[in-house]
Amino acid sequence: MTTAASLAVAFVALLHAAFLVLEMFLWNKPVGHRVFGLPPDVMAAAAPLAANQGLYNGFLSAGLVWGLSLGAAGFDIKMFFLACVVVAGVFGAATAKRSILWFQAVPGAIALALVFLAR
């Protein structure tokens, strides 16, 4: 169970690192336009907000990597950052785009459950 939990946490950390890249560096590129499907003028106007959001996703990723680096001693850190991921995912699904639930909250919740059960 510990290996599954660690792999799940690593996966969530990798997802959030990818969100950072997408929101900070690829927002106004073709891939960003494909992923978010917003009109170009809206994408351009929202770019500073997206970059800020990407930075926060980077902090979530860094916190999860920090927790992983501590092994069993990082239990509380992993639980905290995974809870943040789930709350952010639920909020994003409720206020921005429903698919955020599946791409952020569900993987975070699965990892959170696995970390809790592995303790």
The torsion of the CA quartet 5, 10, 15, 17, rounded to 10 degrees, works out to: 150
**Token pair belonging to 88:** 């952010």
Residues 61-83 have a mean pLDDT of 97
Residues 25-46 have a mean pLDDT of 93
Of 94, 91, 84, give the one whose Cα is nearest residue 60.
84
**Token pair belonging to 55:** 């930075």
Pairwise pLDDT comparison (36 vs 64), residue with the higher score: 64
Kindly report the pTM of this predicted structure.
0.94
**Whole-angstrom Cα distance, residue 74 to residue 59?**
16
pLDDT at 1: 78
Query: Mean pLDDT in the chain?
Result: 96
pLDDT at 67: 98
pLDDT at 87: 98
Q: Name every residue whose Cβ is closer than 8 Å to that of residue 4 and which is 6 or more positions away in sequence.
A: 114, 118
